[in-house]
Amino acid sequence: MPNLTDLKLDLLYLNGEFCTTLKAKASSIQVQTLNLFRLKSSTSTSSHHVGEALCSMPNLTDLKLELMDLNEEFCSTLKAKASSMQVQTLELHYIQCPTQASSHHLAEALNSMPNLTDLTLHGIEPKGEFYSTLKAKASSIQVQTLELDGILCPTLASSHHLAEAMCSMPNLTDLILVGMDPNEEFCSTLKAKASSMQIQTLKLEDIQCSTPASSHHLAEAMCCMPNLTDLKLDLMDLNEEFCSTLKAKASSIQGCFPQIRKGNFRFNGVAQVDLNLFLKTLPCLQSSDLDCSSDSDDSTNSGNSNDSDNSTDFGSSNDSYFSANSGNSNDSDEKVAAVGAGPARGNLLVLSQEFHRMILKFQRSNQSMKSGCYGIGRRTTFLSSEKDICYTMDGFCLLYLLLILLMRSGDVETNPGPNTAQAGIISKK
């Protein structure tokens, strides 16, 4: 097929003959984008051939591996041939490395790809060796955009190594962290090394710091990134420790968010020219500390003062993303507009956002749900403004969560059961 540029192999059991032929013909394949989804090799030799085939495709620039167990033979082959690969964008979704050796080889392969600029790690389950190797070789990696989604480090040492690896990547300018619960070790390491990072764009989505100390360190790390020009916070609970740390750092250190003073800083897509004004735009819960009024007409500020009831009756006052000022964030414009549109649309917005958040928490809290085989998979939908996500679940979980949300919204009332006394009277009549 001389014109085949995009190829997806889905749910295949790769036998020896297929793999050897693929390896033998790989140099003549014109494929540029390749997606391997839930593939299984019959033998270690087959895994070796698949690894060699990937490394031999001369035009392969975009590679995605999903729901695969990468054995030692595949990873060692990938490592050995990585320097000849043309891959620029690599996505690993729900990948498992069953041994320390395979984890080590995979990390070395990532560091050895000369053209790799965009790397996504989503729900992967490597051993601790992966993170330590990534840290040791990070200075040679070419990655410019890194997305970590739902990453769970098995130990404190792994958290430390991952943070150090991020801080040591010399070309890393865009960092996206999604659905993570960064512990104190991760955040403190990030804080200690933040001043040396080249990060220009930082997006934090649904990040839940496990302790006040973690929030403190994360806030300090953000303040100290010298090249940070674009900050995006989405679906985050900015607790008191986080907000107070930002305020304290801003008032005591001239170097806090240095790009704001240069007129080169955007928060959630909106240009910020003054540090104090920027702090007031944060959708923080502790609004009194930062003079961000939590009154309804201030939290919406959309010209619909008569709709103040809509901003307070949703039962979601603890969700930081509903107190954002509509004039300060592109991400909040649609949310505030929905609130101003009336109770029906506003309630729908709250339900969709809260449903999204509950599913994310549900996924992260259950170790057995990290694989898409167990009922949760990521799909594009309409819930947020940029890279929109939702999760598919099995029927029972979905209905159960939906019932909880409807009860909380007031659309469904709890029913304790029939009134037996009243029922007895009726029967006698």
Question: Each residue of 92-121: pLDDT tens digit?
Answer: 999 999 899 999 999 999 999 999 999 999
Residue 141 and residue 110: Cα distance in Å, rounded? Answer: 7
Q: Is the pLDDT of residue 365 over 80?
A: no
Per-residue pLDDT tens digits for 279-308: 777 755 334 343 433 333 443 344 444 444
Q: What is the pLDDT of residue 244?
A: 84
Q: Is the pLDDT of residue 340 over 70?
A: no
Residue 166 and residue 134: Cα distance in Å, rounded? Answer: 9
Mean pLDDT score across all residues of the chain: 75
Question: Where is pLDDT greater, at 407 or 371?
Answer: 407
Q: Is the pLDDT of residue 214 over 60?
A: yes
Beta strands in 223-306 (DSSP E): 230-234, 266-267, 270-271
Average of per-residue pLDDT across 123-149: 94
- Look at 211-215, 225-229, 281-285, 403-407 and tell me which has the smallest mean pLDDT: 281-285
Average of per-residue pLDDT across 185-199: 95
Q: What is the pLDDT of residue 393?
A: 46
Burial label for 131, CB within 10 Å (0-12, 13-18, 19+), is buried
- Give phi and psi for 41, each to the nearest 5: -95, 140
The owner of tokens 């390749």 is 34
Residue 97 and residue 115: Cα distance in Å, rounded? Answer: 23
The DSSP 8-state label assigned to residue 310 in this structure reads: G
1 confidence band (pLDDT: 50, 70, 90):
confident
Q: What is the pLDDT of residue 260?
A: 87
Average of per-residue pLDDT across 211-223: 92
Question: Where is pLDDT greater, at 142 or 424?
Answer: 142
* CATH top class, domain 1-172: alpha beta
Average of per-residue pLDDT across 232-249: 82
The residues pairing with 37 across neighbouring beta strands, listed in sequence order, are 10, 66
429 confidence band (pLDDT: 50, 70, 90):
very low
399 confidence band (pLDDT: 50, 70, 90):
low
Query: Using CA of residue 70, residue 71, residue 74, residue 78, what is the dihedral sign?
Result: positive
Per-residue pLDDT tens digits for 308-322: 444 434 343 344 333
Question: Where is pLDDT greater, at 2 or 173?
Answer: 173
And the tokens for 75? 């990873």
Query: To the nearest whole percent, how much of the chain has pLDDT over 70?
Result: 65
Residue 357 and residue 404: Cα distance in Å, rounded? Answer: 13
Measured CA to CA in angstroms, residue 399 lies from 37, 97, 251, 395 at distances of: 28, 34, 48, 6
Residue 362 and residue 127: Cα distance in Å, rounded? Answer: 23
388 confidence band (pLDDT: 50, 70, 90):
very low
Q: Can you spell out the DSSP letters for 83-139?
A: GG----EEEEES-B--SHHHHHHHHHHHHH-TT--EEEEES-B--HHHHHHHHHHGG
3 confidence band (pLDDT: 50, 70, 90):
confident
The CA-based angle 410-411-412, given to 5 degrees, is 90
Phi/psi region, residue 23 (left: phi>0; alpha: psi -120 to 50; beta: rest), is: alpha
Question: What residue segments make up the domains of the chain, in order of their start?
Answer: 1-172, 296-414
